[in-house]
Amino acid sequence: MPVLRGVGLTVGSGEVVGMTGPSGAGKTSFLHAVAGLIPWLTPATVSGEITIDAETVEDLDPGQRAHLLATCLDRPEAQLFLATVGQEIEAARRLYRGDEFGDAAVEAFGLGPLLNRRVTELSSGERQRVALAVTLAGCPRSILLDEPTAHLDAAGERVLVDLLKRAGNRGAPIVITEQAGWRLRDAVTAWVGIDGGRMDSVGAPCVPDVPGPGHVPGAAIALGCHDLSVSRGGRTLLKDVDLDLHVGEVVLLSGPNGSGKSTLARVLAGLSAADHGEVRGDGRVGLMLPEAELQLFASTVAGEVSAAGVGQGERARVLRRHRLEHLAARAPWSLSRGEQQRLVHAALDLLRPEVMIVDEPGQGLGAEDLSGLLELIRRRSAKGRAYLVISHRPELAAAAHRRFVIRDRRLEEVTP
């Protein structure tokens, strides 16, 4: 069955087209075909015609297409190759002959203090800012953006909206895939949806209605930390952190890009050491990383679930519960970002941890998938599992008992 069938899209000068659809519907495949990654990198059969600036690009490899368009992948780390941020920016200047729009993007995203930082030391959000600035430097060429808000904080989201408007005003045709489309609604001029292999015009996405937890957490502490100080790459990220996560409690943690949220998650899960302070908790802690592909090891989706030690019947129920049964024989690396997210959460759920830390769970998840994840969190927390959800998406606050934010290296509780 073809991933996409009979798809056609025309994007005029200055138009910003947003693309939505369920995880695995083919949004990323569409962008990769336009960019030349399919079939040059990923073997596939592609029929039809792709033109950029009235030039047929069927015979151009990805390197040749790079002079016609700029692409930001849904995994920023997959397109950052040089040692430092400054070197990545300089490479973009050379590729696009120093257009001033690139410098404007660097300034708007606040990358000046990061120019001498190594790319490997950046947070997910900081890497996404760098990748977006490098891509937008190609304006007014055609621009392809795949899930550009996945790791951005609220400030980065506002910057991206402004830059998209400015790029459109300069005549750049832009296509964006985005599950949280409401975050970019002010910049997008038209929306299309992909489902069942077809593409149709759709309305602008609306902010989902997220129900709150239906139970009161227990008094016992499932996981806690006291007087915690955390650093990374010689930089102090957090100081004097006190946090108690109670049995059955759902807590949302947010904060600016690079503020230390993911680093704190690794310390609480026992994967990294703190500079000072203590972590308390005797139960098993599950950690879902923002890079789902780093937690997938089996050759098939079914094998990934079976690795948790379940029988065939339980495996079938888990795959069905997470809407993965039709993908059972697929290799995990071939899944979409949202499908990988669902698979990792399914595998971790089977380990039955007392505490689950979920870092940026909304990546690649459509409204239906996100609702399913939140419903599972509600059911599991009602039975006593504690959840620490790390996300920039404010709509998830409704699903939590408490909310915390990182400001100036401190953890502050946000009152309703």
DSSP structure string for 73-125: -SSGGGG--SSBHHHHHHHHHHHTTT-HHHHHHHHHTT-GGGTTSBGGGS-HH
Q: What is the DSSP letter of 215?
A: S
Q: 165 and 303: one domain?
A: no
Specify the pTM.
Answer: 0.85
Q: 180 and 226: one domain?
A: no
Picking from 175, 202, 229, the residue at the C-terminal end of a domain is 202
Give the per-residue pLDDT at 98.
Answer: 66
In a domain, 313, yes or no: yes
In a domain, 9, yes or no: no
Angstrom CA distances, 10 to 7, 50, 232, stand at 10, 10, 45
Got the DSSP string for 99-110? -HHHHHHHHHTT
Domain around 235: 221-414
In a domain, 7, yes or no: no
Picking from 142, 169, 202, the residue at the C-terminal end of a domain is 202
Got the DSSP string for 346-401? HHHHHT--SEEEEESTTTT--HHHHHHHHHHHHHHHHTT-EEEEE-S-GGGGGG-S
Q: 198 and 237: one domain?
A: no
Residue 143 sits in a domain of what CATH number? 3.40.50.300
Q: 283 and 177: one domain?
A: no
Q: 230 and 317: one domain?
A: yes
Q: 165 and 243: one domain?
A: no
Q: How many structural domains comprise the chain?
A: 2
Q: 125 and 60: one domain?
A: yes
Per-residue pLDDT of the chain (416 residues; tens, 9 = 90+): 788 999 999 999 999 999 999 888 899 999 999 998 888 888 888 889 999 988 888 888 888 888 889 999 888 888 899 999 999 999 998 888 867 899 999 999 999 999 999 999 998 899 999 999 999 999 999 999 999 998 899 999 999 999 999 999 999 999 999 988 889 999 999 999 999 899 999 999 888 888 889 899 999 999 999 999 998 878 899 999 999 999 999 999 999 988 899 999 999 999 999 999 999 988 899 999 888 888 999 999 999 999 888 888 888 888 988 888 989 999 998 888 888 888 998 899 888 999 999 998 877 777 777 788 888 899 999 999 999 999 988 888 889 999 999 999 999 999 87
Q: 140 and 171: one domain?
A: yes
In a domain, 207, yes or no: no
In a domain, 241, yes or no: yes
In a domain, 190, yes or no: yes
